[in-house]
Amino acid sequence: MTLFTVSFALYDWENKVFHGNKSKWYRFRNFSFAAQGCYGVVPFTHQVVNHMMGYNPMYLMSFVWVLIMGAFYLGGLTILMTKFPECLTSSGKFDYILSSHQIWHVCVFIAALIWLYCVRTLYAWRIDNVCTMHASGTWGLERKYVV
């Protein structure tokens, strides 16, 4: 999905596929950004299923971080797609500062900082809390062999 999204910078999709129709191109491009972000639900669901069956404060906290990060990504994308605050005025007041594109970049940057903080905290926690062989060997297998 990332390679597909990166292809937007390498190929002239707007003119060669959408024949210069900016409105359709922007919707398609923004939908692909949203789809790539929502694809994160797959590893997130894996984490929930495999690690949150019991109470584990670190995995529970990472759940909260991922939700906050997703809110920044999707909130920024919503601002970009609705062209807020430019839609409030036609005077060009937001051409140089506080445009929807700038707000979107700030939201993406904040979401990336949240992700970095979460990953570093989980890494530090994992160094102090190593899984035993018994615990890691039974993830998802206990249910199969219990009579």
Q: What confidence score (pLDDT) does residue 111 get? A: 92
97 and 74 within one domain: yes
Q: Give the whole-angstrom CA distance, residue 70 versus residue 76.
A: 10
91 and 101 within one domain: yes
Q: What confidence score (pLDDT) does residue 72 get? A: 93
CA 32 to chain CA centroid, Å, is 12
47 and 35 within one domain: no
Report yes or no on 147 lying in a domain: no
Q: Give the whole-angstrom CA distance, residue 103 versus residue 134.
A: 48
Q: Give the whole-angstrom CA distance, residue 59 versus residue 56.
A: 6
80 and 121 within one domain: yes
69 and 80 within one domain: yes
Q: Residue 32 belongs to what domain range?
A: 1-39
74 and 3 within one domain: no
119 and 94 within one domain: yes
77 and 27 within one domain: no
Model-level pTM? 0.69
28 and 17 within one domain: yes
73 and 122 within one domain: yes
Instruction: Report, in angstroms and rounded to the nearest whole number, the Rg of the chain calculated over CA atoms.
Output: 21
Cβ neighbours for 138, distance < 8 A, ≥ 6 positions apart: none
112 and 71 within one domain: yes
69 and 46 within one domain: yes
Q: What confidence score (pLDDT) does residue 39 get? A: 78
Per-residue confidence in pLDDT tens, the chain, 147 aa: 778 888 877 888 888 888 888 888 888 888 888 888 777 778 777 777 776 666 666 777 777 888 898 899 899 999 988 888 888 888 888 878 889 989 999 999 999 999 899 889 888 887 887 766 555 544 454 444 444
- Identify the helix (H) or strand (E) that includes residue 67: helix 57-82
Q: What confidence score (pLDDT) does residue 79 get? A: 92
How many domains would you assign to the chain?
A: 2
Report yes or no on 121 lying in a domain: yes
Question: Is there a contact between 71 and 108 (Cβ–Cβ < 8 Å)?
Answer: no
